[in-house]
């Protein structure tokens, strides 16, 4: 039986000697995603302003004219928000699928580099890989809008589909999702628990740093006997500062471990469900 401890241990061993490239690929993907969203968001941001400035800059001559201007501006803001959401979803779909195949590499005897994700996409087929992931994320999002639990159950049940289309060229996205849900029976909670544990690391770190910062600023009232002297107050301040600086590397660590644990879990799952499947060769 696959356990959370086993997933964490195996994924950690798979990253030995590859942490540098794993962090670099993750950081570059974040920079690219942020840049694309920033540029596209800045361009689309002009929609509400165009709706307003298309009219005269003078005051509306009547209530009807004012209502028309505000209605048009409101529609432009709604369209802007929807476009930003769609762009963000598309970028995260593309980058997320690329990273899934990138972090599958060390668990199949390879070494992580910038081409390893593209290699996985070429083997799966760009249309099949992106189509499968698009179907999974769309259905998961719609179910999540209705209720969080069904959305999570579906997402984790179909989480292996994007890996399966790489290994079997005959699978369609729908067939891959069905095969993934069969594979994940009895295993959804373990993968979810692994992801939750890794995601909580930076969360609790951030809470601790925030408490230190509030203590240093006097935002948390303390009994007089517990009020620290000036040197300790300075210690709180610098501890909070160092804590916030270390949050970024901690987030990168958590993201790398999340991606690696997902890929490692797939390999463990395949070996558990199909005992005749060969184990991946050790990384060079």
DSSP string, the chain: ---HHHHHHHHHHHTTTTHHHHHHHHHHHHHHHHHHHHHHHHHHTHHHHHHHHTS-SSPPSSHHHHHHHHHHHHHHHHHHHHHHHHHHHHHHHHHHHHHHHHTTGGGGT----TTHHHHHHHHH-HHHHHHHHHHHHHHHHHHHHH-HHHHHHHHHHSTTHHHHHHH-TT--HHHHHHHHHHHTTTTHHHHHHHHHHHHHHHHHHHHHHHHHHHHHTT-S---GGGPPPHHHHHHHHHHHHHHHHTHHHHHHHHHHHHHHHHHHHHHHHHHHH-TTSPPPPPP-
**266 inside domain:** yes
User: CA 132, CA 139: separation in Å to the nearest integer?
Assistant: 11
101 exposure class (CB count in 10 Å sphere: 0-12, 13-18, 19+)? buried
Structure tokens at 112: 């992580």
**104 inside domain:** yes
Structure tokens at 275: 């005992």
**283 inside domain:** no
**284 inside domain:** no
Residue pair 81/87 in contact by the 8 Å Cβ criterion = no
**278 inside domain:** no
User: CA 260, CA 189: separation in Å to the nearest integer?
Assistant: 17
What is the per-residue pLDDT for 39?
Answer: 79
The one-digit pLDDT tens for each residue of the chain (284 residues) are 789 999 999 999 999 999 999 999 999 999 998 888 877 776 666 666 665 555 545 555 555 656 666 677 677 777 777 888 888 889 889 999 999 999 999 999 899 999 999 999 999 999 999 999 999 999 999 999 888 888 999 999 999 999 999 998 889 999 999 999 999 998 999 999 999 999 988 888 878 777 766 665 555 554 444 444 444 555 556 666 676 677 788 889 999 999 999 999 999 998 887 655 544 444 44
**81 inside domain:** yes
- The domain of 129 spans 4-273
CA distances to 144, 146, 159, 170, 247 from 178, rounded to whole Å, are 19, 22, 11, 14, 39
What is the per-residue pLDDT for 78?
Answer: 78
pTM: 0.79
**17 inside domain:** yes
What is the per-residue pLDDT for 235?
Answer: 58
Residue pair 191/265 in contact by the 8 Å Cβ criterion = yes
Residue pair 163/121 in contact by the 8 Å Cβ criterion = no
Count of structural domains, the chain: 1
What is the per-residue pLDDT for 218?
Answer: 53
Residue pair 9/275 in contact by the 8 Å Cβ criterion = no
Structure tokens at 21: 């490239």
**210 inside domain:** yes
What is the per-residue pLDDT for 51?
Answer: 56
User: CA 225, CA 227: separation in Å to the nearest integer?
Assistant: 6
């Amino acid at each position: 039986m696959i356990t959370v401890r086993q997933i964490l241990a195996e994924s950690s061993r798979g990253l030995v000697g590859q942490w540098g490239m794993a962090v670099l690929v993750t950081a570059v993907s974040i920079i690219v995603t942020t840049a694309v969203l920033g540029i596209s968001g800045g361009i689309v941001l002009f929609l509400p302003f165009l709706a307003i400035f298309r009219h005269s800059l003078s005051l509306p001559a009547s209530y009807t004219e004012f209502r028309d201007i505000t209605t048009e501006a409101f529609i432009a803001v709604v369209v802007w928000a929807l476009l930003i959401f769609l762009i963000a979803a598309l970028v995260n779909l593309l980058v997320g699928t690329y990273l899934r195949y990138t972090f599958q590499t060390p668990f199949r005897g390879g070494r992580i580099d910038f081409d390893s994700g593209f290699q996985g996409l070429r083997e799966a087929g760009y249309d099949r890989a992106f189509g499968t992931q698009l179907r999974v994320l769309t259905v998961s999002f719609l179910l999540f809008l209705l209720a969080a639990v069904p959305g999570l159950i579906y997402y984790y049940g179909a989480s292996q589909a994007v890996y399966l289309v790489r290994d079997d060229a005959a699978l369609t996205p729908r067939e891959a999702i069905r095969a993934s849900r069969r594979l994940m029976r009895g295993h959804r909670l373990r993968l979810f628990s692994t992801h939750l544990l890794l995601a909580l690391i930076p969360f609790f770190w951030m809470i601790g740093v925030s408490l230190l910062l509030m203590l240093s600023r006097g935002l948390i009232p303390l009994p007089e006997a517990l009020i620290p002297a000036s040197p300790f107050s300075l210690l709180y301040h610098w501890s909070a500062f160092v804590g916030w600086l270390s949050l970024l590397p901690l987030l990168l660590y958590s993201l790398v471990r999340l991606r690696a644990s997902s890929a490692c879990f797939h390999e463990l799952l395949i070996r558990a469900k199909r005992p005749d499947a060969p184990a991946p060769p050790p990384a060079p």
